[in-house]
Structure 1
Amino acid sequence: MLRNNRLWTRLKGFRSAPPRLPVVRPAYSHVVLLDGTMSSLLRGQETNIGLTYRLLSELGPSEPVTLYYEPGIQWRGYRRAVEVLAGVGIDRQIKRAYLFLARNYQPGDRIFLMGFSRGAYAVRSLAGLIDKMGLLRAAQVEEETLARVYEHYRSDPDGPRAAALKAALCHPKVEIAFMGVYDTVRALGLRWPVVWRFMGKPHPYHSDGLGASTKEARHALAMDETRDVYAPVLWSVDAARAGQVQQVWFRGAHGDIGGQLGGLRAARPLSNIPLVWMLGEAAVSGLPLPQHWRTRYLTDVTAPSVGTMSGWSKAFWSRHRRVIGRDPSERIHPSAEAAAAERGVVLRGGGPRHAPG
């Protein structure tokens, strides 16, 4: 009894520690940014994708954001020159971005995909891969499992084996909160005169349409581009999803829309118009941005355009005006309405309208 009293006396002053509560991980925004061919983060020469990366890099630790940026293929040496011309390497690019998402994503997170030109085609194909095959759970991320996922995507994404793999290794449901692309062109490289005619059509299995996993989609398009090599790849949108998709035409050529200005700094205010529009649309879908971000991007629709006849562009003699208005999701941006009207570009019922001549 005495021993028990002494033990009780010692325990009276002891207070048990409160139970540890599990650390709640905040919902993250995972942003994939894939740039166009020959684009990089070289200071002063960033495209709109590069500027988006720099802007999001300013976010502090209070904003749970992960970023993945990949430059376009660069013209360095014979091998890279062939890749630029032939448009190879998109599979590797998609796989790297997919692995980034698989390693970081947890249920409840948001995914944002953005790209320019060939990079736009790549993020659309990445979305197609996720839509068809799902996203691997982090514990399942290995080179071997990724190879299996990609092989099923290439061969038979709707087959029973693909369904079994998806059920066993992937998250049951993954949504892409926002996909924003600048002037999508197919990943066929730079189709130089004559040379491109001897190149086959690679990547026929890529799904670049708009899948059910993508909640909101925006596409900035170049109203003044004429080179057939840069023929845009628009989404075909059914009426049920018309409110989720906007394909908007802006004044400028392909380089103006994506911010690939070739050193013509005077064209930046024109290129900023689609940039500001795209960032604003992404913010509505939940993308965190620094305060007062709009004030740093001067916009001017009367600013000069990089055009379609500078440098090597003169070599591309196959040219046609772009047809505008085939899809009900297409719009003319308010900044371009006057220029569009002067050229006879009108969006209304009864089929497409395009500028004559």
Structure 2
Amino acid sequence: MQSLRADRRVSPGWVRRPGTTSPGRPSKLLHQPPPSMAQRAPIRRTIMRRLVICCDGTWNTPDQREDDALCPSNVVKLARAVCPQAPDGTTQSVFYDTGVGTGPWLDKLTGGAFGHGLSRNVRKAYRYLVHNYVPGDQIWLFGFSRGAYTARSTAGLIRNCGLLHKTRADRIEEAYAMYRDPAVHPDDETARRFRAQYAQQAEIHFLGVWDTVGALGIPLRGLNALTRRRYEFHDVKLSRIIRHACQALAIDEQRGAFRPALWRNTPAPGQRVEQVWFPGVHANIGGGYRDSGLSNLALHWMARKAAQAGLALDQAWLDTACVPDWGGALRESRRGLYRLLQRHPRPIGAAVGEAVHPGALHRYRDAVQAYAPDNLRHWLERRDGAPSPETAPSPETARE
């Protein structure tokens, strides 16, 4: 990633000022209580903005390296690609947050092993929206791995509690506690009363995630009951307040603790759900390896879906700095202690809106690659038959 332009650097926890390509003040400044109503001028605006929340995965930072080479995740790359202003003049503001376990060594240990910091990251994303959202704005959520958990939990928090008015930002902890309470359903009287008194309705225009792992968002088995209660999804189903939902999934990830969190419920009317399988293991999909051909494949797919939903992106930069390659290096994630554990291939075709990316089919049919994972082969056998080499997608199509 040496070709990354200097004006597209991403710093942890920053918010880009509208109309600029450089970070503004650190996001923590946005977490201060808002001014009183007497201090603020009335809001008079008819043009909506796009508020883009980008939540990175465990140990992922904008400046992470492998063999002294920059290897940012797809979350970082997407954040860099968002244009500060769309061609029609619409402002697009980006909030980027590093993943859990990116602090000192103790934070790396507790964040990496137990997901410490997940709740904090959810509240940070929610707090940014509380202080910045104005009715009419579009909310966009992106995440990878545990950052995908953060993005999905933020959507669930908004569904359960609404989006607090700025003047009620002091109730964020109360809202989060209610969201975590499994006894409180979004349609319960308690949740309805809370939303009516303190919050406003808000829709999630787009939710895009790369490989959400673990039914609890935590890729670690055998967690104690306290940790499970603290971090599990309280609303696994895809909320009806989300208009577009896209998830990129890893065909070749076989660690049992990294089982994917799929959307399985029937989409609501007008809701578009796509879950697409790509060749590679977990980080081959969300990024973080120096050899990024496969992760760029998933990045370009997500970018195209977001662009179709209205997000203005710097496509020229994506095409030159993030070149996709369906034949790129496929890593082995079962290393260290994971090699001693049983393999858990991921079944394909068990959820809604599923498809296999053309790049995976082309790699499967390519004689040089010798790529034939059992789960992909079984999925093809259940269909009308695997596509012949003549009907397999072209390399150009597979890049998309």
Residue aligning to 1:73 = 100
- Match among 27, 33, 41 for residue 54 of structure 2: 33
Matches within 5 A, 1:161-240: 161-171=190-200, 173-186=201-214, 189=218, 191=220, 196-197=221-222, 199-200=224-225, 201-202=228-229, 203-204=231-232, 206-238=234-266
Residue aligning to 1:83 = 111
Residue aligning to 1:109 = 137
CA deviation map 1:146-195 (0-9, x unaligned): 12212222232443232212101111x2111100000001356453xxxx
TM-aligned CA deviation for residue 326 of structure 1: 0.9
Residue aligning to 2:6 = none
Q: Does 1:308 align with 2:336?
A: no
| Structure 2 portions without partners, runs of 5+ | 1-42, 65-69, 366-371, 387-400
CA deviation map 1:304-326 (0-9, x unaligned): 1223245x475562322110001
Distance, in Å, in 2 between the alignment partners of 1:317 and 1:305 is: 20
Tell me which moved more, 279-288 or 175-184.
Answer: 279-288
Quick one: structure 1 residues 188 and 126, their matched pair in 2 at CA, closer, same or farther if it must change by over 3 Å?
Answer: closer
Kept in 2: contact 1:259–1:271 (CA 8 A): yes
Kept in 2: contact 1:182–1:258 (CA 8 A): yes
SS at match of 1:197: coil
2:326 is matched by which residue type in structure 1?
V
- Match among 52, 68, 71 for residue 78 of structure 2: 52
- Match among 273, 290, 294 for residue 245 of structure 1: 273
Q: Does 1:346 align with 2:374?
A: no
| Structure 1 portions without partners, runs of 5+ | 1-21
2:188 is matched by which residue type in structure 1?
G
Quick one: structure 1 residues 328 and 313, their matched pair in 2 at CA, closer, same or farther if it must change by over 3 Å?
Answer: same
Normalization by structure 2: what TM-score? Answer: 0.73
Q: How many residues align?
A: 318
1:69 is matched by which residue type in structure 2?
Y
Distance, in Å, in 1 between the alignment partners of 2:268 and 2:203 is: 18
Distance, in Å, in 2 between the alignment partners of 1:274 and 1:229 is: 22
1:56 is matched by which residue type in structure 2?
V
Distance, in Å, in 2 between the alignment partners of 1:288 and 1:135 is: 25
Kept in 2: contact 1:237–1:245 (CA 8 A): no
TM-aligned CA deviation for residue 221 of structure 1: 0.3
SS at match of 1:305: coil
| Structure richer in strand, relative to its length | 2
Residue aligning to 1:317 = 341
Residue aligning to 1:298 = 323
Quick one: structure 1 residues 117 and 242, their matched pair in 2 at CA, closer, same or farther if it must change by over 3 Å?
Answer: farther
2:94 is matched by which residue type in structure 1?
L
Distance, in Å, in 1 between the alignment partners of 2:271 and 2:295 is: 26
SS at match of 1:174: coil
CA deviation map 1:223-278 (0-9, x unaligned): 111111211010013165596101000011101000021xxx3x212211110000
Distance, in Å, in 2 between the alignment partners of 1:293 and 1:213 is: 32
Kept in 2: contact 1:218–1:278 (CA 8 A): yes
Distance, in Å, in 2 between the alignment partners of 1:334 and 1:63 is: 33
CA deviation map 1:43-99 (0-9, x unaligned): 622100011112226658954112111111226223541232112322111111001
Residue aligning to 2:173 = 147
Distance, in Å, in 2 between the alignment partners of 1:60 and 1:238 is: 33
- Match among 152, 157, 162 for residue 129 of structure 1: 157
Query: Between the two proteins, what is the percent identity of the paired residues?
Result: 31
Quick one: structure 1 residues 235 and 190, their matched pair in 2 at CA, closer, same or farther if it must change by over 3 Å?
Answer: closer
Kept in 1: contact 2:140–2:204 (CA 8 A): yes
Residue aligning to 2:302 = 278
SS at match of 2:222: helix
2:73 is matched by which residue type in structure 1?
T
Kept in 2: contact 1:125–1:208 (CA 8 A): no
Distance, in Å, in 2 between the alignment partners of 1:123 and 1:74 is: 17
Kept in 2: contact 1:86–1:199 (CA 8 A): no
Residue aligning to 1:10 = none
Residue aligning to 1:138 = 166
SS at match of 1:177: strand
Distance, in Å, in 1 between the alignment partners of 2:270 and 2:205 is: 16
